[in-house]
Amino acid sequence: MNFYFANFNEFLQMGTHGPYVWSCYFLMLAVLLVLAFIPNIRLQHLKKTARSRKAGAHSSRTSGSDSDHASAA
Amino acid sequence: MNWQWLHRFGSPKWFYEKTHLWVWGLGILACSLLILGTVWGLAFAPADAKQGNSYRIIYIHVPSAVVSMAGYYVMAIAGAIGLIWRTKLSFIVMRSAAPIGAFLTFAALFTGAVWGKPTWGTYWVWDARITSMLILLFLYLGIIALQGAFQNQDAADRSAAWLAIVGMVNVPIIYKSVEWWNTLHQPATIKFMQKSTIDPSMLYPLIIMFFAFYLFYFWSLLRATRAEILRREIKTQWVNEILKG
Q: What is the ipTM of this complex?
A: 0.92
pLDDT tens, B210-242?
A: 999 999 999 999 999 999 999 999 999 999 999
Instruction: Work out the average pLDDT over B162-173.
Output: 97
Higher local confidence (pLDDT), B199 or B67? B67
pLDDT in tens, B81-130: 999 999 999 999 999 999 999 999 999 999 999 999 999 999 999 999 99
Tell me the nearest-neighbour CA distance from A72 into chain B, angstroms: 32
Q: Which of residues 6-65 of A touch B (CB under 8 A)?
A: 11, 14-18, 20-21, 23-25, 27-28, 31-32, 34-36, 38-39, 42-43, 46-47, 49-50, 53-54
> In this model, does residue A71 exceed pLDDT 60?
no
- Chain B residues with CB under 8 Å of A44 CB are none
pLDDT at B239: 93
Q: B108 to chain A nearest CA, in Å? A: 9
Task: Quickly state the pLDDT bin for A60 (edges 50, 70, 90).
Answer: confident
- What band does A72 get if pLDDT is binned at 50, 70 and 90? very low
The mean per-residue pLDDT over the stretch A37-64 comes to 84
Q: What per-residue confidence (pLDDT) applies to A68?
A: 53
- Over chain B, what is the mean pLDDT? 93
SS (H, E, C) chain B: CCCHHHHHHCCHHHHHHHCHHHHHHHHHHHHHHHHHHHHHHHHHCCCECCCEHHHHHHHHHHHHHHHHHHHHHHHHHHHHHHHHHCCHHHHHHHHHHHHHHHHHHHHHHHHHHHHHHHHHCCCCCCCHHHHHHHHHHHHHHHHHHHHHHCCCHHHHHHHHHHHHHHHCCHHHHHHHHHHHCCCCCCCCCCCCCCCCCCCHHHHHHHHHHHHHHHHHHHHHHHHHHHHHHHHHCCCCHHHHHHHHC
**pTM metric for this prediction:** 0.91
